Amino acid sequence: MSKKITKICCIGAGYVGGPTMAVIAQKCPEITVTVVDINEKRIAAWNDTDLSRLPVYEPGLDRVVEEARGRNLFFSTDVDKAIDEAEMIFISVNTPTKTYGKGKGMAADLKFIELCARQIARVAKDDKIVVEKSTLPVRTAQALKSILHNTGNGVHFDILSNPEFLAEGTAIEDLHAPDRVLIGGEDKGAIEALVQVYAGWVPRENILTTNVWSSELSKLTANAFLAQRVSSINALSELCEKTGADVNEVARAIGTDSRIGPKFLKASVGFGGSCFQKDILNLVYIAKSYGLHEVADYWEQVILMNDHQKRRFADNIVTTLYNTVSGKKIAFLGWAFKKDTNDTRESAAIYVADHLLSEQAEIVVYDPKVPAEQVYADLDYLNTRSEDENRRLVTVINDPYEATKEAHAIAVLTEWDEFKTYDWDRVYNNMLKPSFVFDGRAILDKESLEAVGFDVYTIGIGDGTMR
Ligand code: UDX
Ligand code: UDX
Ligand code: ADP
């Protein structure tokens, strides 16, 4: 018989830890869930009575937090206390790509994970189940085990891998009805204890259990396959533009083959987000470290294609605007890496902006959920030019009509639904002529915009007329 869990602690109150724990607390009122983070500002925002100020924007998250917070869901900076009291500890801290030393630009930086493990080892006085929630390279559990099992204080730790598959923007839906929950581990009792938590709302047949290494590798593989689909359709988008095909028609045609399936075939200016690039780089690094160079090269191509897609989108803007954008105003609609999130990590918009700024363009950004300081932080992080210059060349405006006023061109970088509802006549009348639209998400209706007077480029759509 496995022990019934009544106290959970989650270290890391970010995009994964916050929503996941909120849903566990909502669905399992008998379990007390405490989410801790060293970032005081973030914890204060999770505790804000004004639910519109939660640090993570996700449709439906506010209602879940409202229901559970103060009842059995708590946010705190007292990491030691939460570790001490919990029977099960989720590690949900960030694992960015290393920016220094061996594996720089490729390997995952595990220093935050290791710090957590050391803290757990120091604080714990009774047996704990430690759950890896963050995406981790295969065999991280080994490192956790060796730190936790050598404390010499007689405390026993079981280590489980339980990767999270939620996508941002649909996190609450994904958590409420996951395609599957994956739990990898060695100890049957520990696995069963975590199965019991999810069984509170997930059908048993959707809870898969594997060995710990399969679980770790499945997470990297799932993200690599998803990213590969986007790079595959994006590779075809360029060919469509040349041949007069329409990538959306091609996607529909192939997607009806049940072996291929219709999802994740939307051509775009390039995938972003905190996971895809990081996880593939990590997969490539791991493959290389085992001497599997063909495997590494195969997956690396997914990233190279994505870089190419962002670059060619920016280059096309420059070429179309008569080979120069110097001093020209380009209005960006969208900065987030996808719609319905305020997250901008690895967003294609950042790289497209960077290319255009190097061509001396002036950029005005409008995004319904991303604040100005985030836009500047993203550009400053690239270190391509001075912070002053980023502020001189980039303006962030909270109103789409103001943002597009007197612009030479509009570039659509995120697929926010509201962009489709604008008064495009009004936008056109306030722009410089000729007025260009570069739709990097293929969300606007090309023909109706052309009827308004715009010159429209849509990703993946060639000139289909017979000559
Ligand atoms: C394929 C397409 O499936 C079909 O739609 C098209 O009209 C013609 O090409 P075919 O070549 O007859 O059909 O067989 P298919 O079942 O696709 O298998 C092709 C090869 O892939 C075989 O060697 C098969 O063994 C291999 N394969 C297929 C795998 O190795 N793994 C798989 O999961 C699927
Ligand atoms: C992804 C995985 O989907 C999720 O399972 C995992 O847990 C974390 O990584 P996320 O990055 O939040 O989730 O969003 P996702 O919907 O996968 O989109 C990633 C990027 O691909 C976005 O920039 C999106 O715009 C782009 N994309 C996605 C496309 O360009 N075309 C598509 O068809 C799908
Ligand atoms: P993810 O998308 O994986 O959730 P985030 O960066 O949004 O990543 O969240 C990770 C969180 O983990 C951050 O808020 C960070 O402050 C927190 N964190 C990192 N290391 C520690 C630690 N040792 N103790 C507590 N919190 C930590």
Q: Ligand 2 pocket by C-beta < 6 Å: which residues?
A: 164-168, 223, 226, 230, 264-266, 268, 271-273, 275-276, 337-338
Q: What is the largest CA-CA distance in the chain?
A: 80
Q: Give the rounded distance of the alpha carbon of 3 from its chain centre.
A: 34
Query: What is the spatial distance between Cα 360 and Cα 326, in angstroms, rounded to a whole number?
Result: 4
Atom of ligand 3 nearest to the CA of 135: 3
Is the Cβ–Cβ distance between 397 and 403 less than 8 Å? yes
Q: Nearest C-alpha to atom 25 of ligand 3 is from which residue?
A: 37
Res 288: pLDDT: 95
Q: Nearest C-alpha to atom 11 of ligand 3 is from which residue?
A: 12
Query: What is the spatial distance between Cα 311 and Cα 355, in angstroms, rounded to a whole number?
Result: 7
**Confidence check: pLDDT of 1 > 60:** no
Q: Nearest C-alpha to atom 15 of ligand 3 is from which residue?
A: 12
Is the Cβ–Cβ distance between 59 and 172 less than 8 Å? yes
**Confidence check: pLDDT of 466 > 70:** no
Task: Write out pLDDT tens, residues 246-260.
Answer: 999 999 999 999 999
Is the Cβ–Cβ distance between 363 and 353 less than 8 Å? yes
**Confidence check: pLDDT of 402 > 60:** yes
Q: Nearest C-alpha to atom 21 of ligand 2 is from which residue?
A: 271
Q: Which helix (H) or strand (E) holds 24?
A: helix 17-27
User: Can you tell me whether residue 405 is helix, strand or coil?
Assistant: coil
User: In the numeric block, which tokens belong to residue 224?
Assistant: 């690599």
Ligand 3 geometric centre to CA of 42 (Å): 10
Instruction: Decide: 12 in ligand 3 pocket, CB within 6 A.
Output: yes
Q: Nearest C-alpha to atom 13 of ligand 2 is from which residue?
A: 167
Atom of ligand 2 nearest to the CA of 266: 33
- Closest-approaching ligand to the CA atom of 254: 1
**Confidence check: pLDDT of 237 > 90:** yes
Catalytic residue among 9, 132, 275, 362: 275
Helix then strand then coil, % of the chain, to nearest 5? 45, 15, 40
Q: Do the strands 181-185 and 157-161 form a parallel or antiparallel pair, or are they unpaired?
A: antiparallel
Amino acid at 179: D
Is the Cβ–Cβ distance between 458 and 439 less than 8 Å? yes
**Backbone torsion region of residue 359, taken as left when φ is above 0, otherwise alpha when ψ lies between -120 and 50, otherwise beta:** alpha
Token match 């109706």: residue? 448
Is the Cβ–Cβ distance between 337 and 302 less than 8 Å? no
Query: What is the spatial distance between Cα 201 and Cα 66, in angstroms, rounded to a whole number?
Result: 19
Which residues have a Cβ under 8 Å from the Cβ of 180 and sit 6 or more positions away?
165, 206, 207, 208
Ligand 3 geometric centre to CA of 94 (Å): 5
pLDDT band at 455 (very low <50, low <70, confident <90, very high): very high
Instruction: Decide: 42 in ligand 3 pocket, CB within 6 A.
Output: yes
Ligand 2 geometric centre to CA of 275 (Å): 8
Catalytic residue among 132, 164, 168, 241: 164
Candidate from 93, 123, 162 with most ligand 3 atoms within 8 A of CB, to mutate? 93
Atom of ligand 2 nearest to the CA of 274: 11
Mean of per-residue pLDDT scores for the chain: 95
Cβ count near 49 (within 10 Å): 7
Ligand 2 geometric centre to CA of 167 (Å): 6
Note if 275 is an active site residue. yes
Ligand 2 geometric centre to CA of 223 (Å): 8
Ligand 1 geometric centre to CA of 291 (Å): 29
Q: Do the strands 409-412 and 32-36 form a parallel or antiparallel pair, or are they unpaired?
A: unpaired
User: In the numeric block, which tokens belong to residue 288?
Assistant: 């290389």
Q: Nearest C-alpha to atom 1 of ligand 2 is from which residue?
A: 167
Instruction: Decide: 116 in ligand 3 pocket, CB within 6 A.
Output: yes
Task: Write out pLDDT tens, residues 206-233.
Answer: 999 999 999 999 999 999 999 999 999 9
Is the Cβ–Cβ distance between 179 and 206 less than 8 Å? yes
**Confidence check: pLDDT of 365 > 60:** yes
Task: Write out pLDDT tens, residues 139-181.
Answer: 888 888 888 887 778 899 999 999 999 999 999 999 999 999 9
Query: What is the spatial distance between Cα 98 and Cα 105, in angstroms, rounded to a whole number?
Result: 6
Is the Cβ–Cβ distance between 450 and 372 less than 8 Å? no
Ligand 2 geometric centre to CA of 273 (Å): 7
- Closest-approaching ligand to the CA atom of 95: 3
| Among the ranges given (279-283, 291-295, 414-418), the one the predictor scored with the smallest mean pLDDT | 279-283
Stated length of the chain: 467
Is the Cβ–Cβ distance between 154 and 126 less than 8 Å? no
Helices (H), 256-335: 276-289, 293-320
Catalytic residue among 219, 266, 278, 310: 219
**Backbone torsion region of residue 322, taken as left when φ is above 0, otherwise alpha when ψ lies between -120 and 50, otherwise beta:** left
Ligand 1 geometric centre to CA of 307 (Å): 31
**Confidence check: pLDDT of 465 > 80:** no
Note if 164 is an active site residue. yes
Omega before 163 cis (within 30°)?
Answer: no
Q: What is the mean pLDDT of residues 296-320?
A: 98
Atom of ligand 2 nearest to the CA of 415: 25
Is the Cβ–Cβ distance between 209 and 185 less than 8 Å? yes
Note if 447 is an active site residue. no
Atom of ligand 2 nearest to the CA of 276: 9
Instruction: Decide: 55 in ligand 3 pocket, CB within 6 A.
Output: no
What pTM, to 2 d.p., does this model score? 0.94
CA dihedral 355, 361, 366, 371 (to 10 degrees): 70
Which residues have a Cβ under 8 Å from the Cβ of 243 and sit 6 or more positions away?
462
